[in-house]
Chains A and B, each alone.
Chain A
Amino acid sequence: MSWIPFKIGQPKKQIVSKTVERDFEREYDKLQKLEDQTKKLHKDMKKSTEADLAMSKAAVKISADLLSNPLCEQDQAFLESMTALDTAMRRMDSFNQEKVNQIQKTVIDPLKKYSGVFPSLNMAVKRREQALQDYKRLQSKVEKYEEKEKTGPVMVKLHQAREELRPVREDFEAKNKQLLDEMPKFYHSRIDYFQPSFEALIRAQPLVAAQLPVAAEKAQRLPLL
């Protein structure tokens, strides 16, 4: 705590140095941006997976409706190709569902957890603010007493104030240090944290993509005119 320029008896307007404050602000800003992005990504991921699911369900509906239409009863060949298409679409849908489940587990849930950290982080920062305010308040009180002449009651009050100040100052310093330590670490941890998520996202797609040719091949035995 040597970086806190605080000496008893010396009136100091500056409680916390500007550099420290700036560092803190910078780190906090980065984290706030990260929070925003996490939230938006979480929302978008959810929407995109929902749309994905809806798309494959719509494809299944196309084939299912046609299959249930009496048109199929008229023509045997038509019925066969409709059945093939239906099977293909259903297969694609099930793989898609699986893919979405995987993404849910490896991407969306982690995203949610990650964004769950931020409220407590914000709370911590707020408390640091509070502590800073208390600190400033008591500090000014101490200085006020120090400036007065040193009479008995004043001394008593001064001591009292100093006693009050001490825990508060320590508390603030602890908080500040902690935050200053933890924030960059937290920011840095996102890389490792999200690495598996991104990889999972990339590898999930080919799962379905690999199935599509097989499925579509079956359906392609439809006579093309």
Chain B
Amino acid sequence: MEVPRRPQPSTFTLALPKPASSALSPLGALQKVAMKKPMTEKLQEKDGSTEENQCEEETFSTAEESDVSVFVEAPAETSEPVDSNASAVDSKLSSQDSFSEESSISEERLAQEAEEAKKKSEEEEAAAKERAAQRQLLAIEELVQSERNYLRLLQVSTVTIRSNLQKLQPPLANLDSMFLYIEEVINVSSRLLSLLDQKHVRPGDPLFLETLCDSFLSLSSDIEAAYKEYLANYNHITVVENSYKQKEGLWNEVVRVIKASAPEVNATSLSFFLVMPVQRIARYPLLLQTIQKHTDRAHPAYALLEQTAHTSVALNCRINEYKRFREVADKYKKTETLTIKDKINRFNSHSIAKKTARLSQQIKHETGIAPKLVDEEFDALEGFFYVLEHGILELLENVETYLHHLQGFLACKTEEFDFDMDGEKAPICYKEITTALRQWILPTFEKRMRTLIHKPLCALRDLLVGPRNLIRKRLDKLLDYEVIEAKSNLSYEEQAVANTYRTINTLLLNELPQFNGVALQMIWSMLGTFSCLHKDLASDMEQLFQSFAQQLPHSSLGPGAFWEWADSAVLEGARRLETLCRSVEETLYAPAVQPLSPSSQHRLKQLTDKHGSGKIYQVIGTVVGSRDLDLNLAKGELVALISETDTRGDKRRWLVDAGGRRGYAPSSKLIRYHQPTEYPPPSPHPTLPEGVTGIRRHSYSPESRPVTVRSQPCFQVLAAYDFTARGNHEVSVGAGEPVRVLEPHDKRGNPEWSLVESRRCELLPLTGTSFIF
């Protein structure tokens, strides 16, 4: 910067009315004044020269100064000391030059004036320092005061306005999402203020600045985190507010509520309050730099202040970058569900060109024409991510299966069936245990599993969508990028493309490791929870059973002994059951022996005579003949077996004789007919040769069952007709002759004949006799 040649006095006069603050720290100067005098004098001199130079430069800088671009000032400020040092010599030389020029005029006068000027400069210096000190104080106070005010307004908006808005009917949609991150911002801000208040230093105290800087620096990372999120979300806030503005009535209500809640502030919209953090974070650098400007470099806290100012600027840069990343990520993160029609509509020449370019690049990769831009670090991350995804999905599936089966288990209410055994200990215990299990132990277990494992897993699975889409998009952008990478001069669009790729890449490289790590930790801890739940379940069950164990009769037996007892008891029970069954069946399954009808008896006799009694079969069910030589038989008919197979060797068709007719009948419908034999009746006549005791079998039952034996009473009969004995074993009776029937059948069991006693023991045909008692 060119320093104009001016005589010293005029510079001083120029310096006086200037309102611009000097960058000297009068505080520091005053302090040093309090210290050694010679030092201060020297300093003062130096200060004076620097001051004058800076005053000169100030004129230019203030002239150029604009309200907005602090950044311009900042480099100007920071470069000022350098410049001033550089130009200090110059100005000194120049002033000295002027001195030498005018030396001839009147050295004494100048010397006098120089002394005067010196004194004046000292006074001016002091005054300027005073002013500077005041300005610094003001700046500091401004920072602190504005912070307090800001905090207060934020709190008003969060607490008062929000609660009042919540009372509005109909309820505002998405109201809570507008206040999502404001809590953290308020928190950070209040912490900053409390740190300042803790030290109990007044703003006038030089220590205050140090405290201020320290607290800001210590909180800087928290500030960054809080504001980062808030700013990234701010777009959403504006969108929601616009949606409110759409409905005029609703909007008027909102405005009314705001005005009522915070009447001192003339706010007309919700974003008046909500935009404050956005403005605040950008203001910190301004405020800090203002303080820095008015602070003497020799101030002990100056370095700290400088660092704080730097930090605040860096903070803003990082927050902006984060916001940019988030915007890019949000753009590509969502999976769009498009119908085919939408997809077709999206086709235009630009998109087709884009996609073809990508495809060709991919083919080049595959065929090896073009080298692939391989980022090993990214590939490792990507691989881990996919493995993680697979693991999470599998785990979720398994957990769902587990819960499904648990529900199935709970659905079986086995405690409801008690067989009316209410008096017994064991069933009661069982009932109570199972009820307890089903009513609260297992349901609690299920609920805990759902909330502690299933729901977080589902949330984790949903979170996977974003990174997956971004990774895919990165690949697309990478393909685009590779095409233009080699070019040296990038057009605007190409630059944008390259930037997008780089943004996504950086974003993923930064955040994927965190995501992977956190997801893994989540899975790990979920499994720990799983085993913990099992442990709790086990202890619950143990407790439950212990409380009932004493009441059981066999509780004293050890586990091995108990199971042996249980097994043997079960076998015993089974055996008893079987015997019971058998005894019941034996007694019950004796059907009445129906006396055969005369025709059947006749048939029986006929067949027995012909074939022997061993071959008599009875038909169980109606037989309808379907083939040649098949017989039609009625149920209960008696037939005699001739051959157990037919001419072709079929063992299921038997050749039978049905009293004259011969033919085939299915063997399944034939059952052996055993002629009933009976106990001999108690009779005074000892001459009963045929007392056949035995098992009576009836042809109707397919199984043989023991049957009660009945005694056959002895009849006294009157012979109805004459009968002439034809042989030795037959007896002749006349009509009306009384005979005693000893057995109603002959020795072969043929009921057509009966053993009667008249004058001799003989057989008599049964037919034709009537019975009377």
Contacts and interface: CB of A to CB of B under 8 A. Distances in A.
Partners in one complex: yes
Interface of A: 34, 37-38, 40-41, 44-45, 47-48, 50-52, 54-55, 58-59, 61-63, 65-66, 69-71, 74-75, 78, 81-82, 85, 88, 92, 102, 105-106, 109-110, 113-114, 117, 120-121, 124, 127-128, 130-131, 134, 152-153, 155-156, 159-160, 163-164, 167-168, 170-172, 174-175, 178-179, 182, 185-186, 189-203, 205-207, 209-213, 215-217, 219-220, 222-225
Q: Give me the 5 closest cross-chain CB pairs, A-B, nearest first.
A: A212-B538, A219-B531, A196-B569, A51-B409, A156-B770
A44 B587 CA distance: 34
Given A62-B399, A66-B394, A74-B384, 17 more contacts: A52-B409, A58-B398, A66-B395, A78-B520, A81-B527, A102-B566, A124-B585, A167-B592, A167-B594, A195-B569, A198-B429, A200-B563, A206-B546, A206-B549, A210-B538, A216-B531, A217-B535
Interface in B388-409: 388, 390-391, 394-395, 398-399, 401-402, 405-406, 408-409
Given A127-B591, A193-B576, A223-B524, A44 B773 contact: no
Given A194-B427, A196-B565, A217-B535, A69 B387 contact: yes
B539 interface: yes
B685 interface: no
A211 B644 CA distance: 65
A134 B137 CA distance: 123
Nearest to A160: B771
26 contacts: A41-B414, A58-B398, A61-B401, A65-B395, A69-B390, A69-B394, A71-B520, A113-B577, A120-B581, A155-B772, A174-B587, A174-B590, A195-B569, A198-B424, A198-B426, A198-B430, A199-B552, A207-B559, A210-B542, A219-B527, A219-B531, A220-B528, A223-B525, A223-B528, A224-B528, A225-B525
Contacts of A209: 538, 541-542, 545
Interface residues of B, number: 86
Q: Quick one: which of A105, A109, A185, A206 has the most chain B CB within 10 A?
A: A206
B391 A71 contact: yes
A48 B406 CA distance: 10
A219 B405 CA distance: 22
A114 B417 CA distance: 15
Interface in B703-757: 708, 710
A84 B413 CA distance: 34
Contacts of B772: 155-156, 159
A191 B591 CA distance: 32
A206 B541 contact: yes
Given A127-B588, A163-B595, A105 B429 contact: no
B419 interface: yes
B419 A216 contact: no
Interface in B530-588: 530-532, 534-535, 537-539, 541-542, 545-546, 548-549, 552-554, 559, 562-563, 565-567, 569-570, 573-574, 576-577, 580-581, 583-585, 587-588
B521 interface: yes
B433 interface: yes
A167 B770 CA distance: 19
B412 interface: yes
Given A196-B565, A216-B534, A203 B552 contact: yes
Contacts of A194: 419, 421, 427
B402 A167 contact: no
Nearest to B588: A124
A110 B427 CA distance: 15
Given A196-B565, A209-B542, A224-B525, A55 B409 contact: yes
B570 A106 contact: yes
Nearest to A210: B542
A31 to B, nearest CB: 11
Contact of A114 (B390, B395, B552, B577): B577
A92 B537 CA distance: 13
B127 interface: no
B593 interface: yes
A182 B580 contact: yes
Nearest to A41: B417
B60 interface: no
B433 A202 contact: yes
A205 B424 contact: no
Nearest to B386: A70
Contact of B401 (A41, A58, A198, A222): A58
A54 B545 contact: no
Contacts of A131: 591-592
B272 interface: no
A170 B184 CA distance: 97
Given A41-B414, A203-B552, A206-B542, A197 B771 contact: no
A63 B525 CA distance: 14
Given A190-B419, A213-B538, A134 B592 contact: yes
Contacts of B593: 167
A120 B580 CA distance: 12
A195 B424 contact: yes
B589 interface: yes
Contacts of B595: 163-164
State the majority secondary structure of interface residues on A.
Answer: helix
Nearest to A178: B587
A199 B566 contact: yes
Interface string B503-541: 000000000000000001101110111111011011101
B567 A106 contact: yes
A182 B589 CA distance: 14
A44 B708 CA distance: 42
Nearest to A54: B405
A51 B535 contact: no
Contacts of B567: 105-106
Contact of B770 (A92, A106, A159, A211): A159
Nearest to A135: B592
Contacts of B419: 34, 37-38, 190, 194
Contacts of B577: 113-114, 117, 189, 193
B531 A44 contact: no
B584 A222 contact: no
Contacts of A63: 527
Q: Quick one: which of A178, A197, A199, A220 has the most chain B CB within 10 A?
A: A199
Contacts of A199: 426, 552-554, 562, 566
A69 to B, nearest CB: 4
Contacts of A58: 398, 401-402, 405
Q: Quick one: which of B529, B567, B583, B592 has the most chain A CB within 10 A?
A: B592
A175 B587 CA distance: 7
Interface in B234-290: none
Contacts of B424: 191, 195, 198
A213 B539 contact: yes
A169 to B, nearest CB: 9
Q: Quick one: which of B390, B405, B541 has the most chain A CB within 10 A?
A: B405
Contact of A202 (B552, B565, B569, B708): B552
Contacts of A212: 534-535, 537-538, 541
B589 A124 contact: yes
Given A51-B405, A69-B390, A71-B388, A197 B528 contact: no
Contacts of B530: 62, 85, 219
A29 B619 CA distance: 36
B542 A202 contact: no
A41 B566 CA distance: 19
Contacts of A207: 559
Nearest to B432: A202
Contact of A40 (B417, B552, B589, B590): B417
A190 B520 CA distance: 56
A198 B590 contact: no
B576 A189 contact: yes
Interface in B187-215: none
Contacts of A223: 524-525, 528
Contact of A171 (B401, B573, B591, B770): B591
B527 A222 contact: yes
